[in-house]
Amino acid sequence: MIENEIKQLEKVYDILTEYLVTYSFQLVAALFILLIGLWAAKKLSKVVFNVLAKNNVDVTLNNFISNVVKVLLIITFVIVALGKIGISVTPFVAAIGAASLGAGLALQGMLSNYGAGLAIIATRPFVVGDTIFVNGVFGQVSAIELGVTILTNEDRVEITIPNKHIMGEIIHNSFAYSLVEGAIGIAYHEDPEHAITIIKQTLKALPSLSSTQESQIGINEFADSSIVIGYRYWVATEKLIATKMEANLAVFNALKHAKITIPFPQREITIKQG
């Protein structure tokens, strides 16, 4: 029993010795090729990154492309190194192909997210800092990753959207600002032009409003009990709710200070004697 095991060990030793004698120089060459490959992949990846950065390519896409170049170059040198020591790479290629097919089927949803992420980064329908409304979700873009896009609303709630649910959908992009609409009613005996002037001056004094987009103020409708003055303005998305409340209070106080009547709903009742 022990003699058989010794013979097997001797046989393995002989095979290894013969292999090392035959391929000793090839092993050194393969190791040298692998080291050169790692160095070249790192250098080329850095060059690609710098070139894309100079051309203002998105950082996420830049990282992805440079990493793909690095991985492909390393795989190429590994295949060359394996061939140098007499190992056929054909079975490995077949195995990798079969494994890639299985992984592709299993990770179909994830891969579609990555594909959509690349399309978003390449076409740039929005960038970080823009305010978008898509698929019933509204918020400011805080991050664009390969798999997901992250939105943040004023309540500091992070909304994570898989990228495949963004591409192909209708996207509303108001960039860094959001449109706010408000309305207030004044009595019919008041001068609407005077009220519009007061509201315009009041909104202009608010610091959070956009300085590039003019506010819109005018008669919105003629209601039963009042003339409704509507006002629309653009505000930084991260201050949306706070500015809306501040603007409503400022408009109310300004009209009250100007002694413009803000009526409540009224009904005139006529009593006829029998």
Q: What's the pLDDT tens digit per position in 145-189?
A: 888 999 998 788 899 999 999 998 999 999 888 899 999 999 999
Backbone angles phi, psi at 33, to 5 degrees: -60, -40
Closest to 160 in 3D by CA, of 136, 181, 143: 143
Indicate the range of 13-27, 44-58, 64-78, 199-213 predicted with least confidence. 13-27
Indicate the range of 9-18, 55-64, 152-161, 265-274 predicted with least confidence. 9-18
Backbone angles phi, psi at 174, to 5 degrees: -105, 15
| Residue 259: HSE in the Cβ half-sphere, 13 Å Cα cutoff | 0
Q: What's the pLDDT tens digit per position in 103-143?
A: 555 456 677 888 888 888 888 899 888 999 999 899 999 98
Predicted TM-score (pTM) of this structure: 0.63
